[in-house]
Structure 1
Amino acid sequence: MSVSTVVPREQTQKILDRRAPVATRYMASTPFTTTDRLEDCARQFGANVSLMEGDLRYTYAQFNARANQVARALHAKGVRKGDVVALSMENRSAFFFAWMGIAKTGAVAAFLNTHVSGKPLAHALEVTGARYAIVGEECMPRFAETEGIGEHLVYLHWPDAERPAADALRAGFGDDLQQLAAQEPSDNVPVEWREDLRAGDTAQYIFTSGTTGLPKAAVVSHARWLMAGDAMKLLWEIAPSDCFYCFLPLYHGAASMSATSTAMSAGASLVVRRKFSRSEFWSDVRRYQITCCQYVGEICRFLLSAPPQANDKEHSLRKMAGTGLTPEIWQQWVNRFGSQFRIYEGWGGTESNTNTVNVDNHVGSCGRVPFWEKTNLRLVRYDQEKGDYIRDENGFLQLAGVNEPGEALGMVIQHPEVVAGRFEGYTNVEATEKKILRNVFQQGDAWWSSGDLLRCDEHGYCWFVDRIGDTFRWKSENVSTMEVTDALVEFPGADAVTVYGVQVPGHDGRAGMAALVMLPGVAFDADGFWKLALERLPRYAAPLFVRLMDTPDMTGNYKLRKVDLQKQGFDASLVSDPLYIRDDRLKTYVPLSPQAMAEALRG
């Protein structure tokens, strides 16, 4: 089938209807959890390879045994049902053993971004209420440089052969959990440890950036994690013989929810890589006979930028799922690497209570809604200039028209037993309430506000348009402009700092740009700004562009006019102010030029 073939409306719905029974399989009171899924895998697929990392191989039986040992070691340290255990570790097999060991005690795992330190790290530990922290040796330096986080935590660490920590540093992170676990029995732990734990209870906290500054901890129940895997197994037609490539960070929902849960639902394999490598991608695919992988649009662009090879079409990869694949990159990908791909471009998020997925290879679309009455998704009219909804004469929101961009909303199912369609929210009650719109189409209804603009064409195909507000997405990461601003406002000599995302031709998402107003008589210190940005922010969040302005661009009520700044971007025909771009090789910001931009984007 051609990737541009439009599948008939009825056939598309049949594919989508495969996951309908999944919604009724896991009620809130269902006595089945993440742990039960792993133990079922050990019984049903015990001899199947579950995890591959380098030359290491672990069957499902071995995976389950390792998790049991970790659980016993944690239990001996005092971890009990309901406790929160923070997990800071890069992608490796040990992450899975620690994660599932936490689950087997009945505790909640809080996945920490391995790039953050300082205030964001302290915030993550505080909002999750973590009492214990499992820290991989590779992440120890970020904890060590963050003040005031050790007093209330019980630390355990996990060795890292690739990047071992110094003895003096390791001494501050408690016992060696790997060593403790190795001394424990490997049989299944007592079910009494998880007594009364149900599918609707919290399994994990996964951080997601919003528009309110520091990242929020999204609540993920056992049921949501299980449903994600069961639904994707059916939609992607995953079998035990399939093999997933896991290079996206496990602290995000894409890898830990979609990929891991889907693989375990089918008894399939996972190949774990620390991080994406353009040079090693296809050799890994061929070495491990990988059939499935997740992507973000940037990943595909990076792979296409490598020189063509004679064996580009000789590989086992057949199924890809992700977000941000533009029609142009999609078509280039298929032309170069083969027409056999099933590409499941989707829309949704870690905390979302609704989603769409492209099941019929329609290039560029993030999904199709043949019958709106069968989904809780709606698109409503939104005025981007005013930053507000367009309402009817009764004050209710209006549905967006055909091909009219509208904000995606998900109707909140308000039933104590139903998890599908429930908005599980965040650890912060106020942050949760801010994402719920009430009295949207009628009095008493409630809808989750996504902050994303989609449009839907006359055939029911949905297309991602943009992100509303002060969050932009770059290098597959959500970036909060407020968080970036907070990190940069203390730049010496700066009178005002405005941060926003700008579109870069040929690249998915938006790159960060900072408009600076310097105090009179103070020159812009390009080296100092680079140093401050890269010390305080992950690389993906540090502004790629800088604009030096005489005065901040404000509205009459003293709100920064970010919409205009975004529109102007770094277009020299629209901007007369000095423009700079980040040069990580020189560790500074240099005047913007075509050559400087090519160098920056090449990195």
Structure 2
Amino acid sequence: MNLDSDLMPSRTGHGPLPSLAETQARLDERAAAVTLTPDLPYTLADRLEEQAERYGDRPFLYYQADCYRYGDINAWANQVANVMAVRGVRAGDVCALAMENRPAFYAAWFGLVKLGAVVAFINTQIRGVPLVHALSTTGAAHAIVGEECMENFQATEELPSLPLWLVEDDELAARPPRELPWQPLGEAIAAAEVTPPPAGQRDGVRTGDRTLLIFTSGTTGLPKAAIYSHLRWLTSGDVMVPTVRATKEDVFYCCLPLYHGAAATSVTSTALKAGAAIVLRRKFSVSAFWSDIERHGVTVCQYIGEICRYLLNHDSQPGKHSLRCMLGAGLSAEIWQRWVERFGEMRILEGWGSTEANTSLINVDNRLGSCGRVPAWNRTNFRLVRFDVETERHLRDEEGFCTLCEPGEVGEGLGMIQYDENTPVAPFEGYTSAEATEQKILRNVFRHGDAFWRSGDLLRYDEDRYFYFVDRIGDTFRWKSENVSTQEVANALDDLPGMESLNIYGVTVPGFEGRAGMAAIVMQQGQAFDPEAFYALTAERLPGYAAPQFVRVSASADMTSTFKLRKVDLQRQGYCPELCGEPIYLRDDAEGRYVPWSEARLEKLGLPAFRP
């Protein structure tokens, strides 16, 4: 196992290949910016206060017609901190935050960290059991809730006992009725002092302490709360500033939800570190995208692959725009090529990683379709090991150790946690659940006693050590750059009236990244599938990206001898009626129901025919 060899075959037909030294120099530049250590008394709040002093009159946030300067956001955060300190929030307390993208999100978030509190971001689309799970597993002692998310809480039974602090939303067309003991904060925050909270509020909080809890999908069951330390959050900005080549003149575009790791970490931490501005969009809008870019002179945009596809399929065409850099994940080579052909050459920083990851890849060379390059194995804690997708087991040698993938082989990406060679290691901060944390650790990988974080992702790399994302392992599939647990979807929909069995799986859709959700439903004898009722159930209980895009109404369920539902044949047959010989329905959001399959319907919905 030679991890240190730098012998690389030449590349032809792809333009000049950066030398190992050039690529490594770029990565070293990123690493050199990081000087923080876990034991420092330095936090996200200190970074904010430093930058507010340095760039107080410069724009930090553009939202609709408003501009909030660094000094404005810092003062607003002080007001939140002063109000919440009076209400009992102390350093180390977990405070849930459920709010859509708007300036008050930043004020609440930053105000809480000024007190040393840990902020648990809550998905704005969840209610019921998932919401109870989110509040319970984070151990939230308080919840700050935007008025726009209030109904999610009111529709949820058996909420944990904790104070509910309400932040009003002036953009609502109508005020929803308040059925819970809400405690409004708006007037109190507006009247609070803009001076910093009392000295000592966050004494004892260190850089290595946790500051965020961000939910990420697991392979089964409900999402897990991943721990994010001040160190990881700050380091994200320190590393990305030289990677993006960001300066205080840059303007970042944020249209992904802030409760998501990408928007809250890479965009916010990078902009704050650089002294740059952020254009905040409440929700992504295809029609408004380029007008936002042109109006605010946006230079850097964060994406997921689906955003780029939506924009390419829209008629809007910008004039001479200011966009120079895109950073994100999930961009296929085909969409990438179409993007630069239509909108012009720009840096595409396609990456790979996850909220809880202790390792990552990023393509700093603009290599089409790649999510990053490893120029030298002894400079990274990332490893790709052989994995059998049928048995879902790692392939081990005669000594019982994992084996490294060769170019072209598909394997699972791992991140080194403990290893005794001269190779970088990184802690795995894990989840709020110790059991869930241990399940993500693979031990005795290359020698007895070592430990690696398991990504659950399958990747491959070429002869030049450029990596490409392939798929998720097992039942979890990726759609619209979100990981979807088939078990979670099945649990949410398993009480459809008249249904006998439900099998959820992912199917490939030509031209789309990842896999779309599909449901194979067996109805009870004498019962018929109701496409409107099933649509209503998915709309009530699932985020849009997790709802099945296709439904197959089957005569019987395909099970193993141990009564486990089979998925492989279903996935191979996809959403093609000729292959499966059973009725297929398509999700039509415009009509609010599932509609019978037809070529005309496929074309109307912008879906290609299935190709096995």
- Bin of the TM-score, shorter chain as denominator length: over 0.9
Superimposed CA distance per residue, residues 360-383 of structure 1 (whole angstroms, 9 cap, x where no aligned partner) = 101100000010111000001111
Residue 22 of structure 1: CA displacement?
4.3
Whole-angstrom distance in 2 between the partners of 1:16 and 1:237: 13
Q: Contact 2:60–2:68 (CA<8 Å) still a contact in 1?
A: yes
Whole-angstrom distance in 2 between the partners of 1:413 and 1:97: 38
> What is aligned with 2:344?
338
Q: Contact 2:287–2:316 (CA<8 Å) still a contact in 1?
A: no
Residue 223 of structure 1: CA displacement?
0.3
Aligned AA for 1:223?
L
Match of 1:20, SS? helix
> What is aligned with 1:329?
335
> What is aligned with 1:260?
268
Whole-angstrom distance in 2 between the partners of 1:573 and 1:92: 48
> What is aligned with 1:133?
143
Q: Confirm whether residue 381 of structure 1 aligns to residue 386 of structure 2.
A: yes
Residue 503 of structure 1: CA displacement?
1.1
Q: Contact 2:352–2:361 (CA<8 Å) still a contact in 1?
A: yes
> What is aligned with 1:105?
115
Match of 1:17, SS? helix
> What is aligned with 1:546?
551
Aligned AA for 2:175?
A
> What is aligned with 1:196?
204
Whole-angstrom distance in 2 between the partners of 1:553 and 1:235: 49
Q: Contact 1:81–1:106 (CA<8 Å) still a contact in 2?
A: yes
> What is aligned with 1:12?
23
Aligned residue runs from structure 1 range 185-224, under 5 A: 185-224=193-232
Aligned residue runs from structure 1 range 175-190, under 5 A: 175-190=183-198
Moved more, 347-356 or 472-481: 472-481
> What is aligned with 2:514?
509
Report the CA distance shift for 1:32/1:352 in structure 2 as closer, same or farther (over 3 A).
Answer: same
Report the CA distance shift for 1:419/1:62 in structure 2 as closer, same or farther (over 3 A).
Answer: farther
Moved more, 64-73 or 159-168: 159-168
Aligned AA for 1:510?
R
Residue 582 of structure 1: CA displacement?
1.1
> What is aligned with 1:439?
444
Moved more, 351-360 or 588-597: 588-597
Q: Confirm whether residue 57 of structure 1 aligns to residue 67 of structure 2.
A: yes
Whole-angstrom distance in 1 between the partners of 2:33 and 2:84: 32
Residue 389 of structure 1: CA displacement?
1.3
Residue 522 of structure 1: CA displacement?
1.8
Whole-angstrom distance in 2 between the partners of 1:92 and 1:203: 20
Q: Confirm whether residue 70 of structure 1 aligns to residue 60 of structure 2.
A: no
Residue 173 of structure 1: CA displacement?
5.1
> What is aligned with 2:4?
none
One of 458, 462, 466 as aligned partner of 1:457: 462
One of 487, 491, 511 as aligned partner of 1:486: 491
The Cα RMSD (Å) is 1.8
Structure 2 stretches of 5 or more lacking a match?
A: 1-12, 608-612
Q: How many residues are aligned here?
A: 593
Q: Contact 1:28–1:200 (CA<8 Å) still a contact in 2?
A: yes
Moved more, 187-196 or 209-218: 187-196
Moved more, 561-570 or 532-541: 561-570
Residue 28 of structure 1: CA displacement?
1.5
Q: Contact 1:138–1:165 (CA<8 Å) still a contact in 2?
A: no
Whole-angstrom distance in 2 between the partners of 1:370 and 1:425: 28
Q: Contact 1:135–1:173 (CA<8 Å) still a contact in 2?
A: no
Q: Contact 1:500–1:566 (CA<8 Å) still a contact in 2?
A: yes
Aligned AA for 1:11?
E
One of 36, 40, 60 as aligned partner of 1:30: 40
Moved more, 547-556 or 69-78: 547-556
Whole-angstrom distance in 2 between the partners of 1:6 and 1:403: 18
Aligned AA for 1:322?
G
Q: Contact 2:82–2:196 (CA<8 Å) still a contact in 1?
A: no
Q: Confirm whether residue 282 of structure 1 aligns to residue 290 of structure 2.
A: yes
Q: Contact 2:379–2:424 (CA<8 Å) still a contact in 1?
A: no
Match of 1:403, SS? coil
Whole-angstrom distance in 2 between the partners of 1:586 and 1:332: 31
Match of 2:235, SS? helix
Moved more, 192-201 or 503-512: 503-512
Whole-angstrom distance in 1 between the partners of 2:572 and 2:382: 29
Q: Contact 2:576–2:584 (CA<8 Å) still a contact in 1?
A: no
Report the CA distance shift for 1:182/1:3 in structure 2 as closer, same or farther (over 3 A).
Answer: farther
Match of 1:249, SS? coil
Superimposed CA distance per residue, residues 121-173 of structure 1 (whole angstroms, 9 cap, x where no aligned partner) = 11100000111111111111111101111x5111111111111663741x735
Q: Confirm whether residue 146 of structure 1 aligns to residue 152 of structure 2.
A: no
Superimposed CA distance per residue, residues 336-361 of structure 1 (whole angstroms, 9 cap, x where no aligned partner) = 1111x100000000000000000010
Q: Contact 1:51–1:270 (CA<8 Å) still a contact in 2?
A: yes
Aligned AA for 1:35?
A
> What is aligned with 2:10?
none
Whole-angstrom distance in 2 between the partners of 1:5 and 1:144: 58
Aligned AA for 2:28?
D
> What is aligned with 2:526?
521
If the length of structure 1 is used for normalisation, what is the TM-score? 0.95
Residue 4 of structure 1: CA displacement?
5.5
Q: Contact 2:441–2:452 (CA<8 Å) still a contact in 1?
A: yes
Q: Contact 1:5–1:361 (CA<8 Å) still a contact in 2?
A: no
Aligned AA for 2:161?
H
Moved more, 264-273 or 380-389: 380-389
> What is aligned with 1:79?
89
Match of 2:56, SS? coil
> What is aligned with 2:7?
none
Aligned AA for 1:205?
L
Whole-angstrom distance in 1 between the partners of 2:22 and 2:172: 51
One of 166, 176, 186 as aligned partner of 2:175: 166
Match of 1:98, SS? helix
Match of 1:172, SS? coil
Q: Confirm whether residue 40 of structure 1 aligns to residue 46 of structure 2.
A: no
Aligned AA for 1:333?
W
Whole-angstrom distance in 2 between the partners of 1:173 and 1:10: 61
One of 555, 563, 566 as aligned partner of 1:558: 563
Superimposed CA distance per residue, residues 170-193 of structure 1 (whole angstroms, 9 cap, x where no aligned partner) = x73533323211222112223400
| Percent sequence identity over aligned pairs | 53
One of 119, 124, 139 as aligned partner of 1:114: 124
Aligned AA for 1:234?
P
Match of 1:64, SS? helix
One of 237, 241, 264 as aligned partner of 2:249: 241
Residue 47 of structure 1: CA displacement?
1.5
Q: Contact 1:140–1:165 (CA<8 Å) still a contact in 2?
A: no
Moved more, 7-16 or 81-90: 7-16
Whole-angstrom distance in 2 between the partners of 1:397 and 1:386: 15
Residue 469 of structure 1: CA displacement?
1.3
If the length of structure 2 is used for normalisation, what is the TM-score? 0.94
Report the CA distance shift for 1:497/1:58 in structure 2 as closer, same or farther (over 3 A).
Answer: same
Match of 2:41, SS? coil
Whole-angstrom distance in 1 between the partners of 2:580 and 2:507: 13
Match of 2:31, SS? coil
Whole-angstrom distance in 2 between the partners of 1:191 and 1:550: 68
Superimposed CA distance per residue, residues 321-349 of structure 1 (whole angstroms, 9 cap, x where no aligned partner) = 0111111111111011111x100000000
Aligned AA for 1:210?
G
Superimposed CA distance per residue, residues 400-452 of structure 1 (whole angstroms, 9 cap, x where no aligned partner) = 1111011000011489xx99711011001100100001111110000000000
Q: Confirm whether residue 396 of structure 1 aligns to residue 406 of structure 2.
A: no
Whole-angstrom distance in 1 between the partners of 2:360 and 2:112: 29
Superimposed CA distance per residue, residues 182-228 of structure 1 (whole angstroms, 9 cap, x where no aligned partner) = 22211222340001100111101000111121110000000000001
Moved more, 584-593 or 345-354: 584-593
> What is aligned with 1:597?
602
Structure 1 stretches of 5 or more lacking a match?
A: none
Whole-angstrom distance in 2 between the partners of 1:167 and 1:421: 46
Aligned AA for 1:254?
A
Residue 560 of structure 1: CA displacement?
2.2
